[in-house]
Structure 1
Amino acid sequence: MFPPIFPVDAFRLGYQMSMLALEAQSVVAMRLWGMAGLWNVTPSENSRMVSEKSTAMIASGMAAQRAMASGASATETVLAAIKPIRRRTGLNARRLSRRGAFKT
């Protein structure tokens, strides 16, 4: 039988997943607008968006493995896996939003 998930853990997990989705979609939108010439991005943005995914996913997998090896619950394991990805999406969202749209 699986251990129960407490409401506070479900809230934390839901919040982190929602923020991850929001930040990731914001970054995708700003990068697409940058490709269309509507958002101010650096020339290296296209290669950056490809290269950072592998490092974030490796860090996520390693964090999840460390959590599981230490006996963490399923919720704590997922939260540990989300943390490195959220770090990257949060930094990207802040960086890209500060650059802003091109003036037309």
Structure 2
Amino acid sequence: MNPFQPWRSAFDFWAMMAQAQTVIALRTMGMMGVLPAAAGENATMFSEKGPAFAEAAMAAGVAALQGRSPDQIAQAAIRPIARRTGSNVRRLTKPRR
């Protein structure tokens, strides 16, 4: 086992959480009219959660069945959600014309 793996998992978790908080702040400002928001942003906000958590649960389950360590299982669960939070931050911070 890589002795730095738990640190990496922790860093990836906190980076994903920071991105999630950024997405929440940007979407809230969009709902308040402070920032321009896409017409379907509110629907996107709700529709993306179920598939993201299902994918995370499946990835964690597969990692557990493969006999991975607890930090590797956590890493597998974080990865699908982090992909979505990262893409949301990029999309929501893109300048609108």
Query: Normalising by the residue count of structure 1, what TM-score does the alignment of the two structures yield?
Result: 0.87
Aligned residue pairs total 96
1:94 aligns with 2:93: no
1:73 aligns with 2:69: yes
Q: Deviations over 1:45-102 (max 9, x none)?
A: 00000000000000000000000011100000000000000000000001001136xx
Q: Name the Cα RMSD after superposition.
A: 1.5
Name the structure 1 match of 2:13: 17
CA distance in 1, matches of 2:76, 2:91: 23
CA distance in 2, matches of 1:43, 1:33: 14
Unmatched 5+ stretches in structure 1 = none
Counterpart of 1:56, as a letter, is A
Identity %: 36
Query: Normalising by the residue count of structure 2, what TM-score does the alignment of the two structures yield?
Result: 0.93
- Bigger-Rg structure (1/2): 1
CA distance in 1, matches of 2:85, 2:50: 13
Q: How far is 1:23 from its partner?
A: 0.2
